[in-house]
Amino acid sequence: MTATQSASPSTTRRIRWLLALPKLGIVLLLAALVSLLWLLHRNEIEEDRAALIKDVLWLEQSLQFHLNSNEEQIQQLALDMASLPDRRKAFRLRAEHMLKNSPEVTQILWLDSERKVVDALPSSVPPEQEIEAFGPSAASRAHDLVMQLGKTHYSEPFFLGSNRAHIELIVPIHSDDQHIAGTLVVLYPLETLLANQVPWWFTEKYKVEIVDDNDQLYASKTRIEGNGDQRYVIPFDPPGSGLLLRVTSYRSADNSVQRSLVAAIILLAAGVFWSLWLVRDLMKKRSRAEEALRSEHAFRAAMEDSLTVGMRARDLNGCVIYVNPAFCKMTGFSPEELVGATPPMPYWAPEQLEESYAMHQTVLAGEAPDDGFEMTFMRKNGERFHALVYEAKLIDGNGKHTGWMASVLDITERKRAEELARQQQEQLQFTSRLVTMGEMASTLAHELNQPLAAIASYNTGCLNLMASGQAGVDDIRPALEKMGVQAQRAGKIIRRVHDFVRKSEPKRAPCQLGEVIEDCLGFIEPEARKRHVRIEFDIPPMRPVLADRLMLEQVLLNLMRNGMEAMTNTPAGAKLLRLGVQVTTEGLRISVSDNGCGIAPEIRDKLFTAFFTTKPEGMGVGLSICRSIIEFHRGRLWAEDNAHSPTGSGTIFHFTLPLDTA
Ligand code: ADP
């Protein structure tokens, strides 16, 4: 049985590393994900920007194309007007055609060299007024420039009507002599230009604005609201004059899908992290539980190893499934030799195989005594030892009866000590009997003297009769018979003494209590006579009791002698020793009462203590021996005051012999 060691530091380090790895992995995965998303985002921005630039360039080209094609048409008209006879008709015809095909143009004017309107299409707005209204404005400056240089020119933006920004394309009309005979003016409201020339899909994605260097806004077109995140500015030439085309892009609606994807990825990563956290928690709890289990196991193993009581478990078939170190030490067998063993067990004494097997069967049948039983076991070296075995059911964690658990105590030493104590007690009893006998020796000698003296006198009488020669056989016979009786009386006294002092093993056998009492009286009578003590007894007829006769005699004799000694100072008439026997529920109760001095309360507790005496020559072992004898017979011995004593003091000693021994 080796105790489980707790995890070594290197194992703990390895487990910590193993636990840290998934965390590291998740952190790296998250970093990779974030980098990927950032890269994607950057790519997207770059792609958006590239698309924006491409679209802006396309728009600029498209506007340029329109403006250039309008410019070419007007220039052609100006050229044609220089050579054609009917200028007005040509102007009207071509201007009308142009207005029809180019919705971004709102008006085409024909001015003479003095900037007077010759004709205008549409002519709904009085052109003079309009032109006057130009005044020193951008249009008039542009016109002057065209007149001076003789080249087509765009005006700077200016505001007209309901504050709408316009630009003008001014094309000179050369006369035959290369003079400038007038100009053709094409009026572009910038809003209209954007409205007609910027396609719808462009405005779904971008906001298009025409601004100047000072960020002055002239026109804009979009279908989107809010702030854009990217913008691209390109010179708007033609018309030039510092005008810029500013395009702002807006994130497409698809972004929301992308965003949801990103959110989903982040959420999933968080979920993974969270579940990893839970797993880590779970693992921590588990490792804590394992640690607790390990220390619990180590503690149990240590407890098991330090037990001095042998433990042995058998399954329901009687096969040994477990032995503890104490049991192995007790029997001398190793666990390997014992576990798996079936009857006959290696530790059963061969001479007691049958008894051991019977006991084994009793245990398996669940009939082993609750207060344990004794068995003789054999060590591996052949030495026998006494074992006290307690058997109990082995119940597993589910409450199922799986076998039998025995605790085994080596009681050899205890038995030896008990045996020694018993022998000592016996020796003491014997010594006590010898002492009693010694104390009674003079009385007995005196008692023996009487039959011997009688025999001697009968003998002398017989001899005298024979010497006289007159005596017949019939005269001598009665004397001889009386001699025989006296010799028997003397022999009885000697046999009693012999019986009383003989050393024998305690042995319980059926005996008549009446006879025992009678024998005791035979012993005690001479002393009673000497002490002038009357003895009364009342013995009902009863069945023989199972007892050691000699021991009972010793008890009775001791109690009677104590009673007589207690009555030393009692008035002569009151010296009465009474012996009674009662049959009670407890069994037989034998009482010895006297009218003696009684027992003082202060010594009552010490009465049965060995070597306690109040007598100058007493040994103080009598009552202690009496109690152990009665307890050996499973009875009780106690003392109480004699309440009926005529002297007012006295003691009654009671002892019982249980019914089952009767
Ligand atoms: P011992 O007779 O040698 O003193 P016991 O053990 O027989 O030893 O008695 C112990 C003591 O108990 C006696 O010394 C005596 O004081 C007291 N005792 C015993 N029997 C009686 C009795 N019948 N009446 C009064 N005292 C008694």
DSSP H or E run through 288: helix 254-306
Instruction: State whether the beta carbon of 594 lies less than 6 angstroms from ligand 1.
Output: yes
What pLDDT score was predicted for residue 133?
Answer: 47
Q: With the C-alpha atoms ordered 393, 396, 402, 406, is the resulting torsion angle positive or negative?
A: negative
Cα–Cα nearest to 30, from 253, 272, 341 = 272
Per-residue pLDDT, 124: 55
Adjacent-strand bridge partners of 584: 587
In the numeric block, the tokens 């207060």 are attached to: 371
Look at residue 532 in the predicted model and tell me its pLDDT.
Answer: 94
User: Which ligand 1 atom sits closest to the C-alpha of 614?
Assistant: 14
Using the mean position of ligand 1's atoms as its centre, give its distance from the Cα of residue 642 in Å.
15
Q: Which residue type is seen at 596?
A: G
| Burial (CB count within 10 angstroms: exposed 0-12, middle 13-18, buried 19+), residue 201 | exposed
**1, pLDDT greater than 50:** no
Q: What is the pLDDT of residues 393-402, one digit of tens each?
A: 999 889 999 9
Higher pLDDT, 85 or 123: 85
Task: Verify whether ligand 1 is closer than 6 Å to residue 652 (CB atom).
Answer: no
> What would you measure as the largest C-alpha separation in the chain, in angstroms?
232
Q: Is the minimum distance from the CB of 607 to ligand 1 under 6 angstroms? A: yes
Give pLDDT, residue 122: 82
Question: Per the omega criterion (within 30 degrees of 0), is the bond before 238 cis?
Answer: yes
Do residues 643 and 576 make contact, with C-beta atoms less than 8 angstroms apart? no
Q: Which residues lie below 8 Å from residue 396, measured CB to CB, with a gap of 6+? A: 402
Residue 592 Cβ contacting ligand 1 at under 6 Å: no
> Measured on CA atoms in the order 472, 474, 478, 480, is the torsion positive or negative?
positive
Task: Kindly state if the Cβ of 597 falls inside 6 Å of ligand 1.
Answer: yes
Alpha carbons within 13 angstroms on the beta-carbon side of residue 402 total 11
Q: Determine which residue's CA is closest to atom 26 belonging to ligand 1.
A: 599
If you take atom 18 of ligand 1, which residue's CA is the nearest one? 562
Cβ(407) – ligand 1 distance below 6 Å: no
Q: Residue range 61-71: average pLDDT? A: 88
- Of the given ranges (177-191, 367-381, 449-463), which has the lowest mean pLDDT? 177-191
Tokens representing residue 177 in the block: 């002599």
CA triple 105-106-107, angle to 5 deg: 100
CA distances for 27 relative to 37, 263, 272, 283, 351, angstroms? 15, 17, 11, 19, 76
Q: How confident is the model at residue 386 (pLDDT cuts 50, 70, 90)?
A: very high
Query: Per-residue confidence at 337, pLDDT binned at 50, 70, 90?
Result: very high
| Ligand 1 atom at minimum distance from 592 CA | 23
Q: Two tokens at 78?
A: 């100006």
Q: Is 540 exposed, middle or buried (0-12, 13-18, 19+ CB in 10 A)?
A: exposed
What pLDDT is recorded for position 297?
A: 92
Render pLDDT for 291-313 as a digit per residue (tens, 0 to 9).
999 999 999 888 888 888 999 99
Distance (Å) from CA 511 to ligand 1 centroid: 28
SS (H, E, C) 582-607: EEECCEEEEEEECCCCCCCHHHHCCC
Contacts of residue 118, defined as CB under 8 A and 6 or more positions apart, other chains included, come to: 88, 91, 110, 111, 112, 182
Q: Judge contact between 146 and 160, C-beta under 8 A.
A: no
Cα–Cα dist 448/455, whole Å:
11
Per-residue pLDDT band at 161 (split at 50, 70, 90): low
> Which range among 34-48, 225-239, 289-303, 464-478 shows the weakest confidence by mean pLDDT?
225-239
Q: Does ligand 1 come within 6 angstroms of the Cβ of 637?
A: no
Q: What angle do CA 568, 574, 578 make, to 5 degrees?
A: 90
CA distance 219 to 208: 8
Pocket flag, ligand 1, residue 619 (CB < 6 Å): yes
Ligand 1 center from residue 249 Cα (angstroms): 128
**CA 164, 169, 172 angle in degrees (round to 5)?**
145
CA 209 to chain CA centroid, Å, is 75
Residues 247-257 have pLDDT tens digits of: 888 765 556 77
626 lines ligand 1 (CB under 6 A): no
Question: What whole-number distance in Å separates Cα of residue 549 and Cα of residue 507?
Answer: 8
Q: pLDDT, tens digit, for every residue of 250-284?
A: 765 556 777 787 788 788 878 887 888 898 889 88
Is 649 near ligand 1, meaning CB less than 6 Å away? no
pLDDT for the residue 528: 92
620 lines ligand 1 (CB under 6 A): yes
Question: Ligand 1: which atom is nearest the Cα of residue 650?
Answer: 24
Per the prediction, the chain carries an average pLDDT of: 85
- Domains, the chain, ordered by start: 43-253 (3.30.450.350), 288-410 (3.30.450.20), 411-505 (1.10.287.130), 506-657 (3.30.565.10)
Of 557, 562, 594, 645, best ligand 1 pocket probe by most atoms within 8 Å of the beta carbon: 562
Query: Ligand 1 in contact with 596 (CB < 6 A)?
Result: yes
Cα 152 from Cα 351, distance rounded (Å): 143
Mutate which of 554, 575, 623 for ligand 1? The one with the most ligand atoms within 8 Å of its CB, which is 623
Which residues have a Cβ under 8 Å from the Cβ of 378 and sit 6 or more positions away?
331, 347, 348, 349, 350, 384, 385
Average pLDDT in the 621-650 region?
Answer: 92
566 lines ligand 1 (CB under 6 A): yes
Q: With pLDDT > 70 as the criterion, what percentage of the chain qualifies? A: 93
Q: Which residue has the higher pLDDT, 438 or 385?
A: 385
Assign 3-class secondary structure to 510-545: EECHHHHHHHHHHHHHHHHHHHCCEEEEECCCCCCE
Q: How close is the Cα of 499 to the center of ligand 1, in Å? A: 25
- Whether residue 613 has its Cβ less than 6 Å from ligand 1: yes
Measured in residues, the chain has a length of: 662
pLDDT value of residue 162: 66
Residue 623 Cβ contacting ligand 1 at under 6 Å:
yes
Ligand 1 site, residue 551, Cβ cutoff 6 A: no
Task: Say which DSSP state 348 is in.
Answer: B
CB 555 within 8 A of CB 591: no
Condensed to tens digits (0 to 9), the pLDDT of residues 355-373 reads: 999 999 999 998 989 889 9
- Does position 128 have pLDDT exceeding 80, yes or no? no
Interval 120-140 mean pLDDT: 59
Q: Could you give phi then psi for residue 163, rounded to 5 degrees?
A: 60, 35
Determine phi and psi for 599, rounding to 5 degrees: -110, 125
pLDDT digits (tens, 9 = 90+) for 513-535: 888 998 888 888 888 998 999 99
Is the beta carbon of 23 within 6 A of some atom in ligand 1? no
- Which whole number is the average pLDDT over 176-189? 82
Q: Is the pLDDT of residue 339 over 80?
A: yes
pTM above 0.85, yes or no: no
Distance of CA 512 from the midpoint of ligand 1 (Å):
27
